[in-house]
Amino acid sequence: MPVVPIRYSVAMPEPESHEFHVTMEIPPLPGRQSVDVVFPVWAPGSYLVRDFSRNVYDLTIRDGDSGRPVPWRRIDKARWRVESKGRSVSLDYRVFAFEVSVRTSFLDASRAFLSGSSLFFFVDGELARPCTLSVAPRRGWIITSSLPAVPGKANLFRAKDYDELVDSPIEAGTHERHDFRLGRTQFEVTLQGRSNIDRTRMLSILRAIARATSAMFGGFHFDR
């Protein structure tokens, strides 16, 4: 029987506010009277303890079916205990994002950058559960991500687990996209902001780097 994924949704109705609106839908977990939802204190590839939860506010937690409020309490700065009684629950919250960094998320009127560990709670004990992510960008923006898209669904992506979700940053805006292929692997390059870079030369250099890397490791074991 297929495992029901944890579903995340991100909206940005007022980019000038620098606030992402996030919804997390947790499926029923029978046998668990409560679940702990945890906000990461780390970022992929970084070795410092982070305080991402300081940017989380207006958290509401409701029963996934009835919409009634569900009791919860904050255990520490990064952990909340939800009295789910084995039922599905839905979390709604906002995240302030106005720091330009590869470790944090960012949102303004020109672009959005989503770094998962600064945006998404996880359920303790359910890190291996599949996830989906729906992104509602500003009108006219495009989305670029290494996450695989769900066929036939606009701006809906899937991840095999929480780690893949947060290790796959997303750029949304009016950026340029360029790509090239080596063997079966597709490479995509995003350029955000104005630049006088020689695109052809840039892609030639990146292709050479990728070719040398492939030779060193015996090829690439991913499609894109």
In angstroms, rounded to a whole number, what is the distance separating the alpha carbons of residues 53 and 138?
25
Token pair for 25 = 């839908």
In angstroms, rounded to a whole number, what is the distance separating the alpha carbons of residues 131 and 95?
19
Top-tier CATH class for 6-174: mainly beta
> Does the predicted TM-score (pTM) go above 0.85?
yes
Write 148-157 long-range contacts (CB < 8 A, 24+): 156/132, 157/132, 157/133
Per-residue pLDDT of the chain (224 residues; tens, 9 = 90+): 689 999 999 999 999 999 999 999 999 999 899 999 999 999 998 888 999 999 999 999 999 999 999 999 999 999 999 999 999 999 999 999 999 988 899 999 999 999 999 999 999 999 999 999 999 999 999 999 999 999 999 999 999 999 999 999 999 999 999 999 999 999 999 999 888 999 999 999 999 999 999 999 999 988 88
Token pair for 165 = 């979700």
